[in-house]
Amino acid sequence: MTNRSAGASLVLALSVAACVAALAATPLSAQSGESSYWVYVANEASDLVSRVRFDGSEVVEEKAISVGFHPADLDGAHGITVSPSGDHWYVSIAHGQPYGQVWKMETETEQFVDSAQVGLFPSTMSMTPDGASLFVVNFNLHGDPIPSSVSAVFTPFMQEVRQIETCVMPHGSRVNQDGTRHYSVCMMSDQLVETSIIGLDVSRRMSLTLGSEGTTEHTGSVTSNGTEVDPATICKPTWVVVSPDDERLYVPCNGRGDVLEIDAESLEVLRRFPAGRGPYNADITPDGSKLVVTLKGDQAIAIYDLATGEETRVETSRPITHGVVVSPDGRYAFVSNEAVGATRGTLDVVDIAAGRLVASTELHYQPGGIGFWKMQGH
């Protein structure tokens, strides 16, 4: 062997040894190609949006982005959603003069792009699969108990196209998978509302009050027609989720303490899941097998196996458990907790299959709305 060949062999051997040593020193999660996940969380009482990263073991706030337009008052960053392309995120600014706004932000730079004026106290949002249309419910928290609306916004120009009148205190916003229908619920009308995305008008509405569940034409509050209603029968819905095949709808009844499974075509209740105190927001795994519901009054989430109906309860890190979003691989639920008073809220990460809390981090004041941005890695 020549000196040159011997030197090359020695360099190769040392390089291999160094690689083996480095691999041995790498944490198991990194060795196994653990994915990283990013979400955005709106902190309503801080006027900050948190960009948060979970690497499979730790969850950290990467950046806090300031939003709002009043220098001295809180503007109420409430709902948040991310465009299907991942290029932009949108946040509803609930407090207005008197009307609220939806802001469009760029994910690459976290810079403001444009805004649209919408209705009174805009809250939760959803987008069509092409990202061109956004639907935000105008919750009208502080107004008279009269029918409010859903604002349809054309996102390329951030222009409100129409306010679609629905019912009293609309909340929850979800577009179905094929982009033809939008669903929302109304807390004080006790209704589920289906809107045609092509026609931009209400196509059907369903009463959720126990004993009178089914299609209805009533638009006022649940008691506005003079009928006496047993409070124990009132659903007081706060959210709606569409199954991945568009065949089922899931509605948490915040007032009654159960979750409804509804046939999307017939608008008939198929099953009821007991949920405890204050079921609030929800999301579903991409394969449609698990439904995750936040329990605002129980400081917990409920994970439902939709094949068996079995529930797994997971306690969260702080009280007033608010928002939830499931990762695209169905592994994790990201859960926001508002907390109380001067205590900062948190973001929890729950392993759905294991049914346990795996990571948590403190954010700002009253984290609520949450949107999934991206997943990278294995």
Distance CA 47, CA 369 (A): 12
Q: Which domains, ranges and CATH numbers included, belong to the chain?
A: 3-376 (2.130.10.10)
- Cα end-to-end distance, the chain, whole Å: 43
At 370 the three-state DSSP class reads: strand
C-alpha dihedral sign at 23, 26, 30, 31? positive
Instruction: Quickly tell me which residue has 């008052």 as its tokens.
Output: 73
Mean pLDDT along residues 243-270: 98
pLDDT band (50, 70, 90) for residue 266 = very high
Q: And the tokens for 86?
A: 């991942």
Q: How deeply is 9 buried, as exposed, middle or buried, from its count of CB atoms within 10 A (0-12, 13-18, 19+)? A: exposed
Asked if 283 contacts 293 with a C-beta cutoff of 8 angstroms, the reply is no
Count of residues making up the chain:
378
Mean pLDDT along residues 310-315: 98
Asked if 119 contacts 99 with a C-beta cutoff of 8 angstroms, the reply is yes
DSSP codes of every residue in 64-91: EEE--S-SSS---EEEEEE-TTSSEEEE
Distance CA 193, CA 186 (A): 8
- Indicate the average pLDDT of the chain: 91
Strand runs labelled E in 107-247: 112-117, 122-127, 133-138, 149-154, 159-165, 170-175, 181-186, 191-196, 201-207, 214-215, 241-242
pLDDT beyond 50 at 152 = yes
Distance CA 162, CA 309 (A): 39
- For residue range 49-94, list pLDDT tens digits in order: 999 999 999 999 999 999 988 777 889 999 999 999 999 999 999 9
pLDDT in the model for residue 378: 64
- For residue range 332-375, list pLDDT tens digits in order: 999 999 999 999 999 999 999 999 999 999 999 999 999 999 99
pTM of the model: 0.90
Distance CA 107, CA 114 (A): 13
